[in-house]
Structure 1
Amino acid sequence: MIRIYFWKISSIRIPWAITQMALNRFPLQRNSAIHFWKLIGTGKGETFTPRDADSRRWGLIVNIEKNALADFHNSQFINQWRKNSLEEFSATLNPIASHGRWSGKTPFTPDPDKNWNGPVAAITRARIKWRKNSLFWRSVPPVTMSLRNSPGLIAAIGIGEAPIGLQGTFSLWENPASIKEFAYRGQAHREVIAATHREQWYAEELFARFAVTEMKGTL
């Protein structure tokens, strides 16, 4: 079971959040019900440069056993973030498709529901080769503009484990058709896909789509 959280905090809580990014890995590592996790920072997802960073919003992705999800959602770990945040967004995700690896792992096992026509989420994540960063940054703006203007998009933000080199997006869509329209028919997106293969920007990449089976809060 995949669960994703985003917390918006006040400016005064930023030092606390940065500290949690360092300390929270220990309880996550000790939790035997969690098979994969990532603590993430967020950004506007416009240029994927450090100036995009949003220090007032932080997130967590976990792949957790289904029977442990309720306890985790109400755990001291999550409640600590909840207590220190102004807003919380959370969603339960069922993987529809997943290609690639994240930190050398395949974190999402697809269980496609061909009849699913509800909201969907997409996660893209890439580890960019250092020497390719500037070329990648120059190529991103047309795609982000196309994404923001896409019919059926509910919300999209940048996500990353580091300000430089480890970047991605989390986006929410009204239905599977809307994300397929953007991914396969959008000119800017198709051009970047072609450039990705040509320029070999990434040392590692992942793209995954999910059925959103439960969602609370606003992104």
Structure 2
Amino acid sequence: MAKQISTLTFFKYQSLKNKVWAFGMMQFAHAHLRNVAGLQFYKLLGSGKAGFDPRPDWSVYALLQVWDDETAADTFFENSKLVERYKQRSTEQYTLYLKNKIARGKWAGQTPFVPHKDLSETIPQIAVITRATIKTKFLRKFWKYVPTSQEPLWKNDGLLFTKGIGEVPISQMATFSLWKDQEALDTYAYQSKEHIKAIGETRRLNWYKEELFSRFQPYRSIGSWEGVAPIDF
């Protein structure tokens, strides 16, 4: 039975000094993360401005981690000196524990997510991570089309939280979204004409070098975002 779980942590920073520190940790945190016991895969991520704007949001950074099991994740968050440094510098932190339901594609040549065999029937919420490396020749066309394709997202009452994240601004982008239930997600993914058209354009133009699509069951959280927890477990 697969015990692998993933965690996604968001950090918010206010002062210029701490924003500069957070930007620097996109490079310097690797030295610590490479040696964490039980950590299979990780990505240090910046974020974009609201509305999937390609311009960086210097106040928000994220850390995606894939673990052997929940115990390894707990040990890291409870004992890591790196985590303590992030907490001291940031004004808010929010961590979601996730069990993978389905994953297709690759991230930096890897297939990091393994479907979990022990999913709860009492948790309706669903989390989605999509990630892509956009071909250089399509960058302008892709970002020009994004506002239209995302318009139905903001009209969906079932969207609990979303943020654009990524390793490299403009060309290597990901989105994280948290939904009330499967029905809310399906309404956006399969019933909005704008999103359906975006999928068609993706297939027609083949504008990604690499892409990954994954769905998760969120089952635990630590901290808050904007003063509240998007999901109350």
Q: Does TM, normalized by the shorter one, top 0.5?
A: yes
Q: In the TM superposition, what is the alpha-carbon distance from 1:189 to its structure 2 partner?
A: 0.8
Listed as ranges, the gaps of 5+ residues in structure 2 are: 227-233
Matches within 5 A, 1:144-183: 144-183=150-189
The residue type paired with residue 8 of structure 1 is K
Q: In the TM superposition, what is the alpha-carbon distance from 1:48 to its structure 2 partner?
A: 4.2
1:218 is the counterpart of 2:221: no
Distance between the aligned counterparts of 1:179 and 1:129, measured in 2? 27
Structure 2 match to 1:5: 9
Distance between the aligned counterparts of 2:209 and 2:171, measured in 1? 10
Distance between the aligned counterparts of 1:114 and 1:96, measured in 2? 11
Structure 2 match to 1:63: 66
The residue type paired with residue 41 of structure 1 is G
Q: CA RMSD in A?
A: 1.5
Q: In the TM superposition, what is the alpha-carbon distance from 1:162 to its structure 2 partner?
A: 0.9
The residue type paired with residue 208 of structure 2 is Y
8 Å contact 2:52–2:164 — kept in the other structure? no
Q: Match for 2:84 among 75, 79, 90?
A: 79
Indicate the SS of the match to 2:20: helix
The residue type paired with residue 190 of structure 1 is I
Indicate the SS of the match to 1:161: strand
Distance between the aligned counterparts of 1:108 and 1:146, measured in 2? 28
1:191 is the counterpart of 2:189: no
Q: In the TM superposition, what is the alpha-carbon distance from 1:134 to its structure 2 partner?
A: 0.6
TM-score, with length taken from structure 1: 0.94
Cα deviation, 1:29-70, whole Å, max 9, x if unaligned, reads: 122411000000011353542x2x110110100001222111
Q: In the TM superposition, what is the alpha-carbon distance from 1:141 to its structure 2 partner?
A: 0.6
Q: In the TM superposition, what is the alpha-carbon distance from 1:151 to its structure 2 partner?
A: 2.5
Fraction of identical pairs, as percent: 31
Distance between the aligned counterparts of 1:135 and 1:32, measured in 2? 42
Cα deviation, 1:164-192, whole Å, max 9, x if unaligned, reads: 20011111111122112211111111100
Q: In the TM superposition, what is the alpha-carbon distance from 1:125 to its structure 2 partner?
A: 0.6
Listed as ranges, the gaps of 5+ residues in structure 1 are: none
Distance between the aligned counterparts of 1:71 and 1:186, measured in 2? 42
Indicate the SS of the match to 1:156: strand
8 Å contact 1:116–1:211 — kept in the other structure? no
Deviates more, 1:191-200 or 1:208-217: 208-217
1:39 is the counterpart of 2:44: yes
Indicate the SS of the match to 1:30: coil
1:27 is the counterpart of 2:32: yes
Q: In the TM superposition, what is the alpha-carbon distance from 1:130 to its structure 2 partner?
A: 0.5
TM-score, with length taken from structure 2: 0.88
Distance between the aligned counterparts of 2:146 and 2:175, measured in 1? 12
Deviates more, 1:150-159 or 1:191-200: 150-159
Q: How many pairs were matched up?
A: 217
1:115 is the counterpart of 2:121: yes
Distance between the aligned counterparts of 2:113 and 2:188, measured in 1? 22
